[in-house]
Amino acid sequence: MSRLQAKFADLKAQGRSGLVTFVTAGDPDMATATELVKGLPGAGADVIEIGMPFTDPMADGPAIQAANIRALAGGATLQKTLDLVRDFRRSDDTTPIVLMGYFNPIYSRGVDKFVKDAKDAGADGLIVVDTPAEEDDELCLPARAAGLDFIRLITPTTDAKRLETVMTNTGGFVYYVSVNGITGAGSATEDAVTNAVGRIKKATDLPVAVGFGIRTPEQAAAVAKVADAAVVGSAIIQRIETSLKDGKATAGTVENALSLVRDLAAGVRGARK
């Protein structure tokens, strides 16, 4: 059983939804990002999604774009991102880690080398938003062969035929993007999320995580009532940003972000009581 399978099985046994948290590797610097990632499980994160810094994060909104710029300016690289994962695994062998990013850096490194290195470092899954299902042989299938779950995004415009295609090689969980557009843009209604999750669950036995637009513990709790996990990224990134001074980490940067994660986790954990 993979870490993702074990985590969602444990959540189901507990009768609760999970919290998936997103941070960008190297934001605002690698040491601070590493300390933050290591603190996430204790703050209540069930799954950690780590962004691989890239110059053109097309699916991301202003907050995460700025995080990518800060990380790259601070010297973040794909190798250093993998090193962060490896460092995390020295003290935590149970919390699943999903690497999120874009195909260009992976292609530059070499797909076979990347998937092997990612697995060896301790990653459990990938979200690569610019690789369509029609091109699964490019990255998805090599990733699955290496033991990495390939997690697909489902949107409000994904029709039944497309959903069947996308689900073919999806693993780990399904990520439902609750609003059209970039990360951090707007929020979906509770009814819309409920209907979408129900539709997706008719097409797959995989857990369904819902993200985009979740900013508060109340919003996370509302999603947790109907989905297997709530995904929060931009709100955490903005907490990091507000603690910086001249773009650099301060003594309160890590705690500022972790305090929000604790609040979000409390909302998620109390949603089904």
Catalytic residue list contains 49: yes
Mean pLDDT, the chain, integer: 94
Percent of residues, the chain, with pLDDT higher than 70: 96
Q: What is the pLDDT of residue 213?
A: 84
- Euclidean distance between the first and final Cα of the chain, in Å? 28
Distance CA 65, CA 62 (A): 5
Catalytic residue list contains 92: no
Q: Which residues pair with 175 in a beta bridge?
A: 153, 209
Residue pLDDT, tens place only, 69-84: 999 999 999 999 999 9
Please check the confidence at residue 271 and state whether its pLDDT lies above 90.
Answer: no
Contacts 24+ apart (CB under 8 A), 237-244: 237/22, 237/23, 237/24, 237/27, 237/63, 237/64, 237/66, 237/67, 238/63, 240/23, 240/27, 240/28, 240/36, 240/67, 241/63, 241/66, 241/67, 244/28
Query: How confident is the model over 138-159, as a mean pLDDT?
Result: 96
Please check the confidence at residue 172 and state whether its pLDDT lies above 50.
Answer: yes
The catalytically annotated residue of 27, 29, 46, 49 is: 49
Please check the confidence at residue 184 and state whether its pLDDT lies above 50.
Answer: no
Query: How confident is the model over 244-268, as a mean pLDDT?
Result: 97
Q: What is the pLDDT of residue 188?
A: 59
pLDDT band per the 50, 70, 90 thresholds, residue 110: very high
Residue pLDDT, tens place only, 49-67: 999 999 998 888 889 999 9
Q: What is the pLDDT of residue 181?
A: 47
Q: What is the pLDDT of residue 272?
A: 77
Query: For the chain, what is the largest distance between any 2 Cα atoms, rounded to a whole number of angstroms?
Result: 50
Q: What is the pLDDT of residue 57?
A: 87
Q: CATH fold of 3-269, please?
A: TIM Barrel (3.20.20)
Q: What is the pLDDT of residue 50?
A: 98
The catalytically annotated residue of 46, 60, 117, 228 is: 60
Please check the confidence at residue 200 and state whether its pLDDT lies above 60.
Answer: yes
Please check the confidence at residue 182 and state whether its pLDDT lies above 70.
Answer: no
Residue pLDDT, tens place only, 202-221: 999 999 999 988 999 999 99
Query: How confident is the model over 6-35, as a mean pLDDT?
Result: 98
What are the residue boundaries of the structural domains of the chain, listed by start? 3-269
Helix (H, G, I), strand (E, B) or coil at 24: strand
Residue pLDDT, tens place only, 27-48: 999 999 999 999 999 999 999 9
